[in-house]
Amino acid sequence: MRVLLVEDDHLLGDGLSAGLMQMGYTVDWIMDGIKAEDALQDKTLDLLILDISLPGQDGLSLLRKIRQQGNNIPVLLLTARDGLNDRIIGLDSGADDYLIKPFDLEELAARLRAISRRKGGRSTPLLSYGDITLDPAGRTVERQGEPISCTSREYAILEALLMNPGQILTRQRLEEALYGWDDGVESNAIEVYIHHLRRKLGKSIIQTIRGVGYKIPKINN
């Protein structure tokens, strides 16, 4: 999943970026509220981690602005302000959750999974498709109850497809799930990862829509 981190504390931002990337997230990090507003025009972002105290434009002003514009990206606010009124203002401004500094990275990741799950309308933490189960918390994949070994990028592609059953995801959209703005994109990487996933999970699970992209067909109940 692709995360925009807006945090002006260099030490914290660097640590969060490294930690989240180690957990398999694709992270783009910005330190300024005005630049963040421009960055949020990118509709491929899945989650926003937003500090309240920012140069250029504070986090609450940015949050209110993007909500008024109809941007419904899940937002987790970060702040050192721990008063009840501060939390109420943050949530009423459009945040999906609120985390007070200092915090544990594992709790941050759990909250990101929760707000992402709510956005997708899921009550269960697991993603299931036929005999395939993906666990976002443990970043594991099973087929018929047996563990399937996936690289972090194979996992990211499978997660993106499972979160959008029946929808065609273009090669560009899948690349954006794997690579940040500053990362180099390998020319045939998506095709290679799709090939490996089919070998591990079955050829029919991922369909190629020629000239458009890939999809996991929706199962009719």
Provide the pLDDT for residue 221. Answer: 52
Of 187, 167, 165, 163, give the one whose Cα is nearest residue 175. 187
Question: Is the predicted pLDDT of residue 32 greater than 90, yes or no?
Answer: yes
So what's the architecture of 127-215 in CATH? Orthogonal Bundle (1.10)
Distances (CA, A) of 172 to 42, 126, 179, 211: 13, 26, 10, 12
Mean predicted confidence (pLDDT) in 198-216? 90
* Calpha distance 30→39 (Å, rounded): 9
- pLDDT digit string, tens, across residues 134-191: 998 888 999 988 999 998 889 989 988 998 888 999 888 888 778 766 665 667 888 9
pLDDT the model gives residue 136 = 86
Q: What is the per-residue pLDDT for 36? A: 94
Q: Under 8 Å CB-to-CB from 102, ≥6 apart: which residues? A: none
What is the Cα–Cα distance from 158 to 77, expressed in whole angstroms? 28
Mean pLDDT of 188-199: 90
Q: How far apart are the first and last CA of the chain?
A: 27
> Residue ranges per domain, the chain?
2-119, 127-215
Q: How much of the chain, in percent, has pLDDT values that exceed 70?
A: 95
Architecture of domain 2-119: 3-Layer(aba) Sandwich (3.40)
pLDDT at res. 99: 92
Predicted TM-score (pTM) of the model is: 0.75
Residues forming beta bridges with residue 77, ordered by sequence position: 50, 98
Determine the average pLDDT of the residues in 117-130.
79
- What mean pLDDT do residues 23-52 have? 90
